Structure 1
């Protein structure tokens, strides 16, 4: 299964509370922090909501 490397590129400080919760639920805390998550519909849906805050790369 493919994996996604998600990096927080912009701060979530002055964003909507729902967007801040999504960033926190993905395990991102500070700018430039990264996590590797499975490529599934739930993660893709969360990324769609905060696409302007993150950078996403596909990892083999």
Structure 2
């Protein structure tokens, strides 16, 4: 396993960590009449639709 020979400076450490950004999750709208926002490629938690078909029974 690679081990650093010398300590990395503070500016180099911060320069490397500057690339670690949180990404906003992509959202899509459900085709149901309520137009809820859902994560793509997931069934809607409110109506149970996926690609316009019911796949989950909702109460």
TM-score (norm 2): 0.27
The structure, 1 or 2, with the larger RCO (C-alpha pairs under 8 Å, 6+ apart) is 1
Q: Which has the higher helix share?
A: 1
Larger Rg: 2
